[in-house]
């Protein structure tokens, strides 16, 4: 199966591609590299999951929220590229977690997105470098924001 087929087999519902809430583009292609802006925790109906992990959401809800961010990124990719199969590999993920100051499990949270990418593009090409860190705050008090870079096929 290719990436589109693997994604379809997961039976997941995508949110609409997020529209900019400021002066930026959600997606940019530079040569064979694709960059996506920081994406939020969009549910399939296009509304956001809100709250701080460790206060409003527990760790499992946080991981699910990160998977929703991954789905929002997938929606942006499909909207701009037409097919997930045009992507050669995941290059980089910056996972930003809105959590209480004593939270320590940021990697577990961001796995919610990274596992989705690995399911779509596989264990080798679906996994890139990553940082998963705790922010002081995030826009609209969303629990997770993720930006990412991908390489396109030649």
Binding site for a second copy (CB under 8 A): 21-28, 30, 35-38, 91-94, 96-108, 110-111, 114-115, 118, 127-141, 145, 147, 151
Instruction: State which residue, 81 or 103, has the beta carbon closest to a second copy.
Output: 103
Distance CA 81, CA 15 (A): 16
> What tokens were used for 67?
């998977």
- Looking from the CA of 152 toward its CB, the CA atoms found within 13 Å total 16
Phi, psi of 19 (to 5 degrees): -90, 150
Instruction: State which residue, 64 or 107, has the beta carbon closest to a second copy.
Output: 107
Instruction: State which residue, 19 or 45, has the beta carbon closest to a second copy.
Output: 19
The nearest distance, CB 147 to a second copy, in angstroms, is: 5
The nearest distance, CB 47 to a second copy, in angstroms, is: 16
The nearest distance, CB 3 to a second copy, in angstroms, is: 17
Phi, psi of 7 (to 5 degrees): -65, -45
Burial 134-148 (b: 16+ CB within 10 A, else e): beeebeeebbbbbbb
The nearest distance, CB 79 to a second copy, in angstroms, is: 14
Instruction: State which residue, 36 or 71, has the beta carbon closest to a second copy.
Output: 36
Distance CA 29, CA 45 (A): 27
The nearest distance, CB 54 to a second copy, in angstroms, is: 9
> What tokens were used for 15?
């949110």
Instruction: State which residue, 74 or 99, has the beta carbon closest to a second copy.
Output: 99
């Amino acid at each position: 199966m290719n990436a589109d087929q693997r994604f379809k087999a997961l039976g997941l519902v995508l949110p609409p591609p997020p529209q900019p809430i400021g002066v930026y583009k959600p997606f940019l292609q530079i040569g064979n590299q694709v960059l996506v802006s920081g994406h939020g925790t969009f549910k399939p109906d296009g509304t956001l999951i809100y709250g701080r992990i460790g206060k409003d959401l527990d760790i499992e809800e946080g991981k699910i929220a990160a998977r929703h961010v991954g789905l929002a990124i997938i929606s942006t990719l499909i909207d701009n590229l037409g097919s997930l199969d045009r992507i050669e590999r995941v290059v980089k993920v910056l996972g930003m977690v809105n959590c209480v100051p004593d939270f320590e499990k940021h990697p577990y949270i961001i796995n919610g997105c990274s596992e989705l990418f690995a399911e779509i593009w596989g264990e080798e090409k679906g996994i890139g470098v990553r940082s998963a860190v705790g922010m002081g705050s995030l826009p609209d008090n969303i629990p997770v924001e993720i930006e990412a870079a991908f390489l396109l096929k030649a």
